A and B are shown apart, each in its own frame.
Chain A
Amino acid sequence: EAEVAQSPRYKITEKSQAVAFWCDPISGHATLYWYRQILGQGPELLVQFQDESVVDDSQLPKDRFSAERLKGVDSTLKIQPAELGDSAMYLCASRKRRQGGEDEQFFGPGTRLTVL
């Protein structure tokens, strides 16, 4: 069964350092999402890609976060510099359709980031 892959699963870093997370969506899925899940809360969308284009990054802190999906397949989310408040689970999800419709988003296992 196809799955969304993420790496690393766990990352510990010191504040002011740079970190990067990688996501490989299910093959053929046009839309890719990055979510941040703070402990005890629901996931919040950071950025949504349709193929290689960003369609929603309204909640992405652009002074320190960046995301790319250069070939419309896998994606990288970067934080530079990391701050203590960035400690959270970062989830990647993908769905087959580009927009509209009711098809399911499939989530990866997440990367748990701890900033010391």
Chain B
Amino acid sequence: GDSVTQMEGPVTLSEEAFLTINCTYTATGYPSLFWYVQYPGEGLQLLLKATKADDKGSNKGFEATYRKETTSFHLEKGSVQVSDSAVYFCALHDSWGKLQFGAGTQVVVTP
């Protein structure tokens, strides 16, 4: 079945550092891909998405490009802030509206 694999955390960075979180997927067909963020004590929020190959999703300085050839959707941000500390989930969306999530990557940004 469809699945998502993302890098384990925690990822600890200093403020203004470059962030990359790797995500790869296995799926039949070409699913839509998402990054969700979960701040402490809160539910999940959609961060960005891409619906087809070579699409780039972007939001709040974060970017991810749908790479069909490598089945990847890595999340990047050029300069992180303390407020970016959260857990980030990569997910794919099948044609029936079902989301498959990765295990999540905790990001800790220190001042």
Binding site for B on A (CB under 8 A): 4, 31, 40-45, 48, 55-56, 91, 93, 95, 97, 99-102, 104-105, 107-110
Contact = CB atoms under 8 A, between A and B. Distances in A.
Interface of B: 4, 32, 36, 41-46, 49, 51, 89, 91, 93, 95-99, 101-104
Nearest to B90: A42
Contacts of A55: 96
B66 to A, nearest CB: 12
Given A102-B51, A104-B46, A110-B43, A42 B95 contact: no
B98 A40 contact: no
A105 B99 contact: yes
A111 B60 CA distance: 27
Contacts of B98: 45, 48, 56
